[in-house]
Amino acid sequence: MYPHLLSFLRTLGELTDEEAAIITQHSKLHTAKEDEVLLREGQQAKELFFICSGILKIVSVNEKGEDVVHFFLRPNQFCTILNSFTNGVPSNESIIAACDTQLVIFSKPALQEIYKLIPHFKLLVEGVTQKTLLEKLRIKNSYGGKDATERYQTFLQQQPDVAARVSLSDAASYLGVTQQSLSRIRKNMRRCTNR
């Protein structure tokens, strides 16, 4: 049994013990260590992840060969590269654990089986996925037109749990600044608050 996943699903709607057992039978629990690659760019996404604790990051490689963090995903969110998962095409991005992360993993065939046995589970997953996509876009758009310091302040306000858990290099990549710049910004902010 996965108490975290099941209690979260029960906040969204009815879930019988029999349905909970089906979900548990067709998924597996996994602890991803920090920097563990769950899906590599260029591979086909064949799994859907539910985050119980920890943070996942969506990453791609830029033209200089550097990793660029696009999004962070938090507990109570599903994560996959939707286009790749749905259409069976190679993924343009990687999914990597940004810190130690507890996951429930659904393979694509297992998920299809759950959808057959519990038709409303598909609506639950789609609803949560849709909400996550909208939140990712809202957060990303909130950084537009801001300088590096303002972006970092916004990051701390909107995603304090993420800011506390991810590495400086991941935060810098996500905010589109160098690690040195972010280090300087953090130092300056600390200096201001200590006055």
Contact by Cβ (8 Å): 106, 122: no
Q: Provide the whole-model pTM.
A: 0.92
Per domain, the residue ranges of the chain are: 3-141, 142-195
Taking the mean position of all CA atoms in its chain, how far away is CA 131?
12
Residues 181-193: pLDDT tens digits? 898 988 887 777 6
Q: Across-strand partners of 97? A: 56
> Strand, helix or coil at 131?
helix
In words, the CATH class of domain 3-141 is mainly beta
Residues 139-186: pLDDT tens digits? 989 998 899 999 999 999 999 999 999 999 999 999 999 999 898 988
